[in-house]
Each structure stands twice: as structure tokens, then as C-alpha cells.
Amino acid sequence: MKILFVVNNYYSTGNGLSASARRTVSYLKEAGEDVRILSGANHNAPSPQPDYVLKDYRVPFFDGLIRSHGYSFAAADRRIIREAVEWADVVHLEEPFYIQAVTARIASSLGVPCTATYHLHPENLFCSVHLGGWTLLNRTLLRMWRDLVFNWCSDIQCPTENVLHRLEKERFASRLHLISNGIIPEKIMRKDDPEREENGPFRVVCIGRLAVEKDQMTLLRAMRQCRHSDRIQLIFAGRGPEEKHLKGEAEKLLKEGVLRYGAQFAFMDRDGLRELSSGADLYIHCATVEVEGLSALEALEQGVVPIIAEGELTATGQFALDGRSLFPSGDSKVLASKIDYWLDNPEERRRMGKLYAESTRRYDISSSIDSLRRMFREATPSRRKDFFGGSSMGNPLPAAR
């Protein structure tokens, strides 16, 4: 089957969406599918490049902020897009932005089926400019994405129940499929207990883009309320626009004697993150807005016990095995108490770490790929009309779990 993936920057190394797309494409090809990429150019290396290369599009005033998140947009060249769509048996949209809206309409006019993955919430965008709490604004953007992009697709991959329920509530017309993005099964590198010098620090790890919606500040605030803070070394693995702010707050904690061992900041590749997680005493995930949170799942695969924020717009709490690994998003006091509990109970931490590693097996990417392939084969051409012109789609399709 000839599958066209449409993503603004397929080769970006700074965001999870692009990494997920590359991983999915790799496994689809291994399964025998013929996959091509329609995307902006790879600026990280001369090769590889997308099969259909679009020029960059710079957003006035906001381009610097966008790129600080490891993201960029591509320009919608209709000639190139049409050439790509004419090749495909099915078109798969990885984002709900302008190139996807144009591609969906061209696919509709050519009778080529279109599907999509729901990878991000509107709040992921607006949190960066501190508008994440503006409910009307975020709901308006979600409905625009629905009408201008997603409803042009016969089928949508929803990585979590949280996403599926939100799209059902907003009356998305497409068939909705509950399919995790999945993780690659890896060898567990963890020893029974991380090695440390006598009375050495506990290693508490937080992995993810350094951004407002990832809320690493809650972990730093928790250190002021945590009994073990003078024995904790924080390690933040990621980069992003909040890095300078977070480093400044961590430096204050060090100078005040709250964090005796301070905090480290580093950007690591996948192997580095695995090694980091395998030697961690606890993994903390504070994100307030998140579709799935695969970085957390990949950490748990290494047998580290998590403490995960639980909220309306973050689905990552689904990975917690019980309430001891959950805290209300933004609540530093409860987070501090959970950190103290787990550090006070090393035997239970070791026991649960093994259970967490075992629990990640249900998210094997091979199962996700099988489900996606079925979704692609069941996809049907759009026949929809709106104010952009083009074909019209028939009655709304029933949701499929």
C-alpha cells in the first residue's frame, strides 16, 4: 500500500511529534508498506530528505518562539502536494495545520482516502503565550481544526482514551480509533537498585521539552516542601524556551541550601535517556497538557517508579498503576509528599519498578502498527464541501474504538 505521511518538519529533533512520525514510518516500512514523506526540508543534515520537499514558512513575529520548541512550518506548494497525493493510495495527516488542510482538499478532489493522527491539543500551542487557560479560545481552535482538517478524514487515530472522549464531545465526524503511538520494546538496563556512594544523592529525573505546559516548575517548587530535598539531585533531560527560567529557579534553590546537589540540565538521545532512566530513583512527569506522554512510558520501561500529574488535558496518568504515583497537576505539596513516600520505602520502590517495566509491554509499537495498517485499509475517500470548495462528504461516520 502506498501511504503518504504529511508533516511540517519530519526531521525535527526537538519535538515528540516528529520523533513519533519517524518511528511509525520506520515500522510501517518494515511491515512491507510503501511510505513516502511530504514535509519541509531536513536542515539537520544533507540527507536524508523528504520524498516531496516543501519550502520553509516563517510565521511573522512568532517564528523564534516556534523554533525554540523544536518546530517549524512548511509552505503549502499545491503543485508539489498534488504530485505527492497522486502517487498515494492513502494520505495520512500528522498535524492539523495549513499544509494538512490543503492536502486534504487535494486528496478529496482526487478521490484519495485521507486519515490523521491527533497528536496535540490547542492548549499545547497557547500555553507558550500563557493562554492555555482560555477555554473559549482553545475550544474555538479545536473546532477549526475539526472543520478545516480532521472532518476531511474518514478515520482518526486517537492515542489515548482522553483524546477519544474529547473528540467525541466535540462531535468529530470521522471514525475514531483508539491506537497508542507505541514504544519500541527495549532491553531493561536497570540493576536491582541504582548504585550510589554511601549517603549519596537520590537521582530524581524529569524528561521532556522545557516548556510552560510541561510544568517543570511544579517539581522545583516541590523541593521546598520535600523532607529529602537536601539528598536529591534533579536531572532535567530536554531543551526548550523555559530552560533559562528553570535554571534560574534551580540556582536559587542551590544557593538557599534547599537543593544541596543542585539540578542538571541536558539534552540526550534515546540511548542516553534509557541509561538515565535505568539509574534513576524516581521519574517525575508534571505536564498539564499532553496527548500521550511516550517519554514517560519509555522511562518506565527501565523499571523506574513514576509520579505523574493527573489532569483534564493530560493522559499520561493512565500509565500509573496506583494512586501513589499520581498527583493533581500543579500541586507541589502533594508531589512533595509522594516523593518523600517513595524515597522512604526503597523495597516497595524496587518491587513496583519491576511491575512498571512489565506494564509497558502492552504498548509495543508492533501492535500499534498492525492497528494502523487496518485503519489505512478501511479508509474511504472524502466527499466533502466547505467554503474552500471541493467535493462533499456524506453523512458523519460512526466512531470506532
Retrieve residue 343's grid coordinates. 524515597
d(CA 276, CA 190): 10
Q: Is residue 192 part of a domain?
A: no
Find the mean pLDDT for residues 392-397. 40
How many structural domains is the chain composed of? Answer: 2
For the stretch 26-85, pLDDT in tens is 999 999 999 999 999 998 888 899 999 999 988 765 666 666 666 788 999 999 999 999
Tell me, yes or no, whether 16 and 161 share the same domain: yes
Q: Is residue 196 part of a domain?
A: no
User: Within 13 Å, how many C-alpha atoms sit on residue 243's CB side?
Assistant: 17
Tell me, yes or no, whether 300 and 321 share the same domain: yes
Tell me, yes or no, whether 178 and 80 share the same domain: yes
Q: How confident is the model at residue 13 (pLDDT cuts 50, 70, 90)?
A: confident
For the stretch 92-139, pLDDT in tens is 999 999 999 999 999 999 999 999 999 999 998 887 777 767 789 999
Q: Is residue 392 part of a domain?
A: no
Sign (positive or negative) of CA dihedral 185, 188, 189, 195: positive
Tell me, yes or no, whether 172 and 207 share the same domain: no
Residue 16 lies in domain: 2-182+366-378
**Closest to 114 (Cα-Cα) out of 69, 150, 146:** 150
Helix/strand/coil for 293 = coil
Tell me, yes or no, whether 79 and 137 share the same domain: yes
Tell me, yes or no, whether 255 and 243 share the same domain: yes
Tell me, yes or no, whether 146 and 218 share the same domain: no
Beta strand 73-74 pairing with 56-57: antiparallel
Q: Is residue 190 part of a domain?
A: no
Retrieve residue 178's grid coordinates. 483508539
Tell me, yes or no, whether 115 and 29 share the same domain: yes
**C-beta of residue 232 within 8 angstroms of C-beta of residue 223:** yes
Find the mean pLDDT for residues 249-253. 96
For the stretch 193-237, pLDDT in tens is 555 566 789 999 999 999 999 999 999 999 999 999 999 999 999
Q: How confident is the model at residue 393 (pLDDT cuts 50, 70, 90)?
A: very low
Q: Is residue 401 part of a domain?
A: no
- End-to-end CA distance of the chain, in Å? 23
For the stretch 162-195, pLDDT in tens is 999 999 999 999 999 999 999 998 877 776 555 5
Tell me, yes or no, whether 27 and 39 share the same domain: yes
Q: Is residue 343 part of a domain?
A: yes
Q: Is residue 221 part of a domain?
A: yes
**C-beta of residue 261 within 8 angstroms of C-beta of residue 303:** no
| Cα distances (Å, whole numbers) of residue 183 to 24, 70, 160, 270, 365 | 10, 21, 14, 12, 5
Tell me, yes or no, whether 94 and 173 share the same domain: yes
Instruction: Please list the alpha-helical segments (H only) found in 14-62.
Output: 16-30
Tell me, yes or no, whether 138 and 237 share the same domain: no
Predicted pLDDT of residue 58: 80
Tell me, yes or no, whether 300 and 175 share the same domain: no
CATH code, 279: 3.40.50.2000
Q: Is residue 212 part of a domain?
A: yes
- Angle (CA) 326-331-336 rounded to 5° is 70
Please state the pTM of the whole predicted model: 0.89
